[in-house]
Amino acid sequence: MGKGTPSMGKRSNGKAHVPCRRCGRSAYNVAKGACASCGYGKTARMRSYSWAKQH
């Protein structure tokens, strides 16, 4: 199996995200070392986008 598109459907093993220590959501990506929700590990400020709902 390569790393192309065909292999993307078999990525259910292990856990990509663990609970984030800053936002508490299970969005901290272990491999990337950054939270997908608040940006912890990637930016000192909270990750926020205008197109994202605040609530």
Positions in the binding site for Zn ion (CB under 5 A): 20, 22-23, 35, 37-38, 40
b/e code 32-44 from CB counts within 10 Å (16+ = b)? eebbbbbbbeeee
Looking at the Cβ atoms of 7 and 21, the one nearer to Zn ion is: 21
Looking at the Cβ atoms of 16 and 22, the one nearer to Zn ion is: 22
Indicate the DSSP class of residue 42. Answer: T
Query: Cβ 22 to Zn ion, closest distance in Å?
Result: 5
Query: Cβ 49 to Zn ion, closest distance in Å?
Result: 14
Indicate the DSSP class of residue 47. Answer: P
